[in-house]
Amino acid sequence: MSVLCLLDRWLLRLYRGCGYLAAAFLVLIGLLVLASIVTRMMSVYIGGLTEYSGYAMAASSFLALAYTLGEGGHIRVELLLGHLGARARRIAEIWCLGVASAVGVYLAFYFVRMVHVSRQFEERSEGADAVLLWIPQSLAAAGAVVLAVCLCHHLVRAIAGAPAHIGATAANE
C-alpha cells in the first residue's frame, strides 16, 4: 500500500471524525433551542443559551467543511468544467484547488491567530456568564485548519492524477 493511500485513509478518518463532531454540535444546538423554549414556557431564565447555540453553530459549520469537501458535497461549477477537454479540465481543477488551498491556509492562519490573541488578552463574551472566547473560537479554528489540510490534500491528489473525491475511492479500497 502506497504512502498516498495510507495518508488518504488517515485523513479520511480525520474528515469523518470532524463530520461526526459537527453532527454532535447540531444535536447540541437542537437541545439548547429546546431548553430555551421550555425554560421560557416555565418562566425560568437560563443565561447564555443563545450564546452557546451560536458557538455550537460556528463549531458545527467549520467542522463540517472538510467532511463535506472530502465527500464531494461542495458545489462545483460543472457547467463550465463539463465543456472543457480532459487536459484543460485537469488544469482548471488544479488551479481552483491551488487558489482554494491558499485561501484556506490564509483563513486557518488567521483563525488560529485570533484564538491566540483572545487567549493572550483573556477576552470574554459579553453575556452574563462571561465565557473565555478562545474556548469556542478554538473549535471553529480547528475546523478551519482541517479544511486547509483537506484543500491541500485534494490539491496534491489532483496533481498526482488521483480521483477527485476521496470518500468514494477510500471506501472502495
Distance CA 65, CA 98 (A): 17
Rg (CA), the chain: 20
Structure confidence by residue, pLDDT tens digits, 21-56: 999 999 999 999 999 999 999 999 888 888 899 999
Residue 172 pLDDT grade (very low, low, confident, very high; cuts 50, 70, 90): very low
Query: Any alpha helices (H) in the chain, and if so which ranges?
Result: 3-41, 49-70, 78-81, 86-120, 134-160, 166-172
Looking up cell 485570533 gives: 114
Residue 80 pLDDT grade (very low, low, confident, very high; cuts 50, 70, 90): confident
Reduced to 3 states, what is the DSSP secondary structure of residue 133? coil
Q: How many CB atoms lie within 10 A of CB 159?
A: 13
Q: Which amino acid is at 147?
A: L
Residue-level pLDDT at 113? 98
Q: Residue 156: exposed, middle, or buried by beta-carbon count in 10 A (0-12, 13-18, 19+)?
A: middle
User: Any residues with CB less than 8 A from the CB of 93 and at least 6 apart, and which?
Assistant: 81, 158, 164
Predicted TM-score (pTM) of this structure: 0.87
Rounded to the nearest 10 degrees, how much is the dihedral formed by the CA atoms of 92, 74, 155, 90?
-30
Q: Look up the domain containing 146 and give its range.
A: 3-172
Total number of domains constituting the chain: 1
